[in-house]
Structure 1
Amino acid sequence: MAATHPFLCAPEVSGMTGIAAHPAPTPARRGFGIVERLSARAVAGAALGLLLLVQFTQVFRRAINWDEFWHYNHLIQFQNGELARPLNTLHVRAFSWVTDLPGNAVDHIVVIRLFMFGCELAIVAGIIALATRFTDRVTGLLCALAYLSFPFVFQHGYSFRFDPPSTALMMGALWVLAVRPLDVRSMLGAGLLIGTALMVTIKIVLLLPAFAGILWWRWSERRFAWDYVVRVAVTGAIALASAGVIFALHSRGIAGVASENAANIVEGSGATMFALEAKPYWPVAIAAAQMAPLVTLLLALFPIALWKWKATRAEKIALVGLYLPLTTLLFYHNTAPYYYVFMLPWVLIACSIAMPFINARITASGTAALFLVFGLIGYAFEEESPIDKQRALIDTAYATFPKDTAYFDFMGMLAERPKANPFVTPATLKQYHLANRSIYRAAMEERPVPLLVDDDYQFQQLFAEPYVPTLTEGGVPHFSPEDAEALRDTYLHWWGPFYLAGEDIPSGSEPYRFEIRVPGTYTVEGGALALDGRTYRPGEIVTIDRGAHVVTGSREKPARIIWGERLHRPSTPPPDKPYFMGW
């Protein structure tokens, strides 16, 4: 039975199975008379609806994030039979059809965002329902408002990532376990939801404390009867079995040995994501606390509220379990802003008991208004979206470079061209750094990579003069010395963010020696030159093999050889940077 304390508004009678009626509100509770409760519900509901409507416009307006491009890459890899990741790639089954729609990757990702927004709506509904389970409907609405107004959730709650669908699935499972009797239908439903979520992303293991606390609470309601333990075990078995079936079916379209790939992913994730060391995104957590002061206050008030809450030990254990995912910010590696979409719902459900501390000072309607204001302030001060620039750059690349043109970039912005390097996140770079392995030089030795796309800070710094090596947030170099030398010696700026393999040859009469790491067809530009004993004039085509070459003879003007067969450089100036929005 839900508890009350002097700051809590009394919950309403619920019609849900297994939930006892809550005591009626007393006039002595400041700001929570019947009129205030009705108006607070209307204000909170209206504020939530308005904020959702404003956020929905962002689905179409906000620039595509680098992670979204990388997830879209998975769809193309799967269609080409090149996807070698059996875990964390279930989205390719759901969204492969999107690539057949008109437009390019930007337009396709926007379509997928509509589904992600639907997942966020399910998360919001779950927060309301579960927070109401501990408090009342008004507080549930306020907790949902707190979630939606949080800057990183407002920006990334609809992003094409694992977080929205996995969180929605787990929220559905937790609602079943917290509200419904654990009968056969509930066991099947919760098990299937958890098993599917496990195949969406293995990081749902971070939610174990939240589920353990709820299960302990529900077990206590059954006076610790052992038949409930059996039902929970059956639910877990259903979850594992359903995950296994989905894995087996999904693996049929995966390149390589699926079991070995999965083992490598789990081993690599454990070694990198849970290492006890300084985490690259701790500054992000500090920034989040500063940008959302009301949510930060709510999180800070939870221990006090829990101490004062007149409830059973089991209920308090359930709330502590829900609150514990907040501690993942201390030890989990990948806590970038989009992670808060996944982590924050459970914590805010726990903090429902702290909400009345704020309401007692400014009323529930005032709290709702403040959350709305904070959300709208974040929206008003967002930088201009370069989503149209992204469309233009992708269209230019596809119209200019042949379909088999391999390229280097950060996240795989040109999904329909073969990407030659991995998604170079801090975690990826750390793994290569610890293994003392080359990324780019080794890739160029395996196959020709004529194109480099400058779509991230690391490439901007690479081609800056003078070049100063930079470090990731995790403290490792963006490029090894060998990779930096090979890239700077291979690629020349061509147009906008596009760099092509080539060589600038100065005027003069001295022999000029250089190395070609990208064999293929090149076009001569500028002045005439004698390459490997043969003279070429501007506009002529030359096929150059990998290795050392020499330009001889007198050169009246500087010359350039640039990869490609008379590629048409756009006559219009390229879009100005930036091409992406910040966190």
Structure 2
Amino acid sequence: MVYMTKGAMGLVALFAVLILGLCFWHNINWDEFHFLSIPFDMARGQVEKPLQTFHAHLFSWLTHLPFSEIGMVIAGRIVAFGCLMGTLYFIYRIASIFAPKPYAILGGLAYVTSGFVIGHGASFRADPFAAFLLMGALYLLFCHPLRARPLLVAGFAAALSVMITIKSLLFIPAFVGALIWRGTSRDAVLRIVLAGVAAVFMLLAMFLWHKSQLNIPSNISGAEATQKVLKNASGRTIFGAGFLPAKPYLKVWLIYSIVPLLAALAALRAGTGAGREKWVLLTLCLPLGSVLFYGNAYPYFMPFITPPMMVAAAVGLRRLDGRRFALGGVTGLMALGGITQAVLTSQETQSAQRQTIAAVHQLFTEPVPYIDRNGMITSFPKVGVFMSSWGMENYRKAGQPIFQKALEQETPLFLIDNTRYLQAALEGDARIANCCGFFPKDAQTLRQNFLPFWGDIYVLGKRLQMAKGLHEVTIYHAGPYILDSQTPVFIDGQRIEQGMQVALSAGIHRVETSHPHQMRLRWAGVVPDALPPPPETEIYHLFWGIR
């Protein structure tokens, strides 16, 4: 038993070290950059939505670090790694109620080697922080005396997790389990219920305070903004997501999580304590059932939703007590799955991201407006819609092109082609545009006003198919422009030839040509001479190639 305990602890420590190392190496997902962008938007007074933005207060310190966006995400990941270690500790402590210490440790090993935890358990998203808070609240309810202080701390942790992400409500069955386990007397039930009521009031207080800090448009009330977010969130992620909406990812998760899943099922069959333990273990497994209907059950969701189930897994693994070879085989299988995931994850590097971000900061020493998918250059103000699948659905529901107005009012100077929606617009891919991409007018606006510059970076300019005669061309940003044209043209009466620069003011200019041809005018406020060759790989990797 001593060797088993030391071996399990050694494996958990090994995978903890691997996860920490991957924090510095693993490709940063687009929503990690988006999560980082919220504190910057908060500092600029650009946050309007009171839900899912509370972490801007918790991570405002990141905006003061002398790092690039990559360094800031890594700093956030290190905090997330600490939360992951806390979650592991809470799994162990809660499991210790139901199983001996070695099996409680195996429950932690089952979690850290289960599907997607190694790659995404310490990602800079809401999920690791919410999982830590929720498991901490459950630990206090399961393991501590039901006194005022731990109950209030548990209530505060649960309320804070909901402020960070609404999907924390999916943990409600696990909290019912705590009530079942500790509610053996009327006094205990009353104390836990009062803690729940206190949590609701703390949640309301945090929400009202946070809303007061936001720059909500005067024509939209905070209640309207909240109602709209809740309606969109529930409609897309729950009621409109269908059955098993993330099936491809779930299949992969099952492959790497078969041991804890079977162990949890075994625990439900062998529950003791006159049925009470079985019901408690069932409630701890129920949050995982959300994968049946939750629309955003992507790989990063699994490390968030599975920790309660790992308590049941620890109890199930206890059934192998005395069967040394079976226990060793199961432990080896979990370790093999964890190592395989570490190898796959290590192949998804940050190389293209580091090169692209470094190029942006080399070209633009001061923040300027720009367009991209998710706010990748978080220290710069992003222009346009948030280009997640959900964001694009909301864009199309609004029914209005946006980029002509954005160019006129905000004048983004560059664009990062880091999503298929932008790629389709810039390349004229009608398959995406007609399905779920930008409206034709927006796609044309982007294609005509941004030119390839370096890698996935496009800069402001004009791309025009010129017919013979006189044309009016709108310039959105004053400055020098370089002509790319095989035919000389006259701009405001001045003859300009291939490669020549011309200073243009913002506004309408008269361009005349004697032959039909394609003409480009690229803003020359930045030059690529000192930049290294652009990366050849994609900025964002798929999850191990899974679509």
TM-score by length of 2: 0.89
Seen in structure 2, the aligned counterparts of structure 1 residues 282 and 518 have a Cα distance that, compared at 3 Å, is farther
Structure 2 unaligned blocks of 5 or more: none
Superposed, which structure 2 residues align to 1:536-547 within 5 Å?
536-537=496-497, 538-543=499-504, 545=506
Aligned-partner SS, 1:194: helix
In 2, are the aligned partners of 1:541 and 1:565 still within 8 Å (CA)? Answer: no
Seen in structure 2, the aligned counterparts of structure 1 residues 530 and 358 have a Cα distance that, compared at 3 Å, is farther
Q: 2:203 aligns with which of 220, 230, 243?
A: 243
Residues 1:422 and 2:388 are matched in the alignment = no
Quote the sequence identity (%). 26
Residues 1:70 and 2:34 are matched in the alignment = yes
Q: Which moved more, 1:367-376 or 1:274-283?
A: 274-283
Q: 2:468 aligns with which of 510, 516, 525?
A: 510
Deviations 1:226-268 (A, max 9, x none): x333212210122122223333443443212555433433333
Q: CA deviation at 1:375?
A: 0.9
The aligned counterpart of 1:377 is 340
In 2, the alpha carbon distance for the partners of 1:512 and 1:422 equals 35
Aligned-partner SS, 2:432: coil
Instruction: Report the residue type matching 1:523 in the other structure.
Output: Y
The aligned counterpart of 1:482 is 441
Instruction: Report the residue type matching 1:501 in the other structure.
Output: L
Aligned-partner SS, 1:264: helix
Instruction: Report the residue type matching 1:469 in the other structure.
Output: R
Deviations 1:255-291 (A, max 9, x none): 125554334333332232222443652321122223x
Instruction: Report the residue type matching 1:541 in the other structure.
Output: V
In 1, the alpha carbon distance for the partners of 2:465 and 2:230 equals 52
The aligned counterpart of 1:345 is 307
Residues 1:47 and 2:20 are matched in the alignment = no
The aligned counterpart of 1:283 is 248
Q: 2:105 aligns with which of 132, 138, 141?
A: 141
Aligned-partner SS, 1:530: strand
In 1, are the aligned partners of 2:271 and 2:277 still within 8 Å (CA)? Answer: no
In 2, are the aligned partners of 1:500 and 1:563 still within 8 Å (CA)? Answer: yes
Deviations 1:519-556 (A, max 9, x none): 54350234542124443354433435556x65323479
In 2, are the aligned partners of 1:462 and 1:469 still within 8 Å (CA)? Answer: no
Q: CA deviation at 1:107?
A: 0.8
Superposed, which structure 2 residues align to 1:204-223 within 5 Å?
204-219=168-183, 221-222=184-185
Structure 1 unaligned blocks of 5 or more: 1-36
The aligned counterpart of 1:3 is none
The aligned counterpart of 2:539 is 579
Superposed, which structure 2 residues align to 1:6-155 within 5 Å?
37-155=1-119
The aligned counterpart of 1:406 is 369
Residues 1:492 and 2:492 are matched in the alignment = no
Superposed, which structure 2 residues align to 1:210-359 within 5 Å?
210-219=174-183, 221-222=184-185, 225=186, 227-256=187-216, 258-278=222-242, 280-290=245-255, 292=256, 295-300=257-262, 302-356=264-318
Superposed, which structure 2 residues align to 1:388-467 within 5 Å?
388-401=351-364, 403=366, 405-441=368-404, 443-444=406-407, 446-464=409-427, 467=429
Seen in structure 2, the aligned counterparts of structure 1 residues 490 and 280 have a Cα distance that, compared at 3 Å, is farther
In 2, are the aligned partners of 1:188 and 1:238 still within 8 Å (CA)? Answer: yes
Aligned-partner SS, 1:502: strand
Seen in structure 2, the aligned counterparts of structure 1 residues 297 and 546 have a Cα distance that, compared at 3 Å, is farther
In 2, are the aligned partners of 1:323 and 1:351 still within 8 Å (CA)? Answer: no
Q: CA deviation at 1:141?
A: 1.3
Aligned-partner SS, 1:198: helix
Seen in structure 2, the aligned counterparts of structure 1 residues 303 and 380 have a Cα distance that, compared at 3 Å, is closer
Residues 1:523 and 2:481 are matched in the alignment = yes
Aligned-partner SS, 1:419: coil
Instruction: Report the residue type matching 1:242 in the other structure.
Output: M
In 2, are the aligned partners of 1:516 and 1:546 still within 8 Å (CA)? Answer: yes
Aligned-partner SS, 1:469: helix
Instruction: Report the residue type matching 2:119 in the other structure.
Output: Q
TM-score by length of 1: 0.84
Aligned-partner SS, 1:88: coil
Aligned-partner SS, 2:431: coil
In 1, are the aligned partners of 2:50 and 2:226 still within 8 Å (CA)? Answer: yes
Aligned-partner SS, 1:470: helix
In 2, the alpha carbon distance for the partners of 1:139 and 1:340 equals 22
In 1, are the aligned partners of 2:359 and 2:531 still within 8 Å (CA)? Answer: no
In 2, the alpha carbon distance for the partners of 1:560 and 1:95 equals 43
In 1, the alpha carbon distance for the partners of 2:319 and 2:422 equals 49
Seen in structure 2, the aligned counterparts of structure 1 residues 215 and 415 have a Cα distance that, compared at 3 Å, is same
Seen in structure 2, the aligned counterparts of structure 1 residues 431 and 143 have a Cα distance that, compared at 3 Å, is same
Seen in structure 2, the aligned counterparts of structure 1 residues 415 and 559 have a Cα distance that, compared at 3 Å, is same
In 2, the alpha carbon distance for the partners of 1:280 and 1:429 equals 18
In 2, the alpha carbon distance for the partners of 1:347 and 1:437 equals 45
The aligned counterpart of 1:12 is none
Q: CA deviation at 1:479?
A: 2.5
Seen in structure 2, the aligned counterparts of structure 1 residues 316 and 384 have a Cα distance that, compared at 3 Å, is closer
In 2, the alpha carbon distance for the partners of 1:301 and 1:149 equals 14
Deviations 1:198-240 (A, max 9, x none): 2222221111111112212321x33xx2x33321221012212
In 1, the alpha carbon distance for the partners of 2:39 and 2:411 equals 24
Instruction: Report the residue type matching 2:501 in the other structure.
Output: E
Seen in structure 2, the aligned counterparts of structure 1 residues 298 and 149 have a Cα distance that, compared at 3 Å, is closer
In 2, the alpha carbon distance for the partners of 1:517 and 1:433 equals 27
In 1, are the aligned partners of 2:245 and 2:293 still within 8 Å (CA)? Answer: no
Deviations 1:485-516 (A, max 9, x none): 33223322111111123234679x82375754
Deviations 1:7-56 (A, max 9, x none): xxxxxxxxxxxxxxxxxxxxxxxxxxxxxx22211111111111111111
In 2, the alpha carbon distance for the partners of 1:345 and 1:99 equals 31
- Please provide the CA RMSD for this pair: 2.8
In 2, the alpha carbon distance for the partners of 1:333 and 1:138 equals 36
Aligned-partner SS, 1:113: helix
Q: CA deviation at 1:571?
A: 4.7
In 1, are the aligned partners of 2:116 and 2:253 still within 8 Å (CA)? Answer: yes
In 2, the alpha carbon distance for the partners of 1:424 and 1:180 equals 45
Q: Which moved more, 1:517-526 or 1:451-460?
A: 517-526
Q: CA deviation at 1:443?
A: 3.5
In 2, the alpha carbon distance for the partners of 1:541 and 1:311 equals 84
Seen in structure 2, the aligned counterparts of structure 1 residues 193 and 546 have a Cα distance that, compared at 3 Å, is same
Seen in structure 2, the aligned counterparts of structure 1 residues 197 and 550 have a Cα distance that, compared at 3 Å, is same
In 1, the alpha carbon distance for the partners of 2:475 and 2:49 equals 30
In 1, the alpha carbon distance for the partners of 2:475 and 2:436 equals 23
The aligned counterpart of 2:520 is 560
Seen in structure 2, the aligned counterparts of structure 1 residues 384 and 516 have a Cα distance that, compared at 3 Å, is farther
Deviations 1:343-392 (A, max 9, x none): 01012222333324567484333322322221112212335344243233
In 2, the alpha carbon distance for the partners of 1:270 and 1:518 equals 40
Deviations 1:377-432 (A, max 9, x none): 22123353442432332222123237453222111111122211232111122223
